[in-house]
Amino acid sequence: MSVKNNLNQLIEEIGNETTLVAVSKTKPSELIKEAYEAGHRNFGENKAREMQAKAEELPDDILWHFIGHLQTNKVKYIAPHVHLIHSIDSLKLLKEVNKRAANEDRIIKVLLQVYIAKEESKFGLDEEEVLGILESDEFQSLENIEVVGLMGMATNTENEETIRREFKSLTDFYNKLKDQYSLTVLSMGMSGDYQIALECGSNMLRIGSAIFGARDQH
């Protein structure tokens, strides 16, 4: 199977209402180029320096998605390049992104990462924390960021009911907020669970191994 065939098959399956982010973390630029030449533009990375290096090397019209845990001291490396940050998990991080976006004279779009999984997962906000941020005066004074939606990851399990329950809870929360806060993006679903995510209302998938093949641990 080639990257191009994998992409075309996925796009046929999910339709073009859903944004497909091809998660290229750990993969060489040659493979990204292959997908690019097949017409794909949305790519996802989870390390700031890796995104920076790839963005500097590859075509300017690529839309780079940052999907991994982001430390405040790394924001500066992605600020010139990133199209959408999926993984905002604190007001402190949001303020740093705002500052770096202002330095670049741009507005950076972001998603708030919501913790929905049962398993011990280190990152993400709970619903109360999301509301706390959106309602705060501090947040409302940030002029160089735009919160456009929510991101979540389900438990890594074979149990489809668990995954469905977790995705459903995020969809319900998203639907509660979307009109009031002008949210348009619900990012959920990876190679192993994207069909369930779509059934539950996702409109942005982050898919790596099903496009580029298995990764070494990273």
Ligand X SMILES: *Cc1c(COP(=O)(O)O)cnc(C)c1O
The footprint of ligand X (CB under 6 A) covers: 23, 25, 46, 67-68, 153, 190-192, 206-210
3-class DSSP state of 66: strand
Decide whether 149 or 208 has the Cβ nearer to ligand X.
208
| Residue in the structure block whose two tokens are 């009911």 | 161
Q: How far is the CB of 208 from ligand X (least distance, A)?
A: 3
Q: How far is the CB of 209 from ligand X (least distance, A)?
A: 4
Decide whether 195 or 209 has the Cβ nearer to ligand X.
209
Decide whether 142 or 189 has the Cβ nearer to ligand X.
189
Q: How far is the CB of 15 from ligand X (least distance, A)?
A: 18
Angle, CA 154 vertex, CA 63 and CA 198 arms, to 5°: 60
Decide whether 46 or 98 has the Cβ nearer to ligand X.
46
Q: How many CB atoms lie within 10 A of CB 213?
A: 12
| Residue in the structure block whose two tokens are 């999984």 | 117
Which residue has its beta carbon closest to ligand X?
208
CA distance 99 to 85: 15
Cα 127 → chain centroid: 18
DSSP 146-177: EEEEEEEE--SSS-HHHHHHHHHHHHHHHHHH
Decide whether 21 or 177 has the Cβ nearer to ligand X.
21
CA distance 215 to 41: 21
* Beta strands, E only, 4-56: 19-23, 42-45
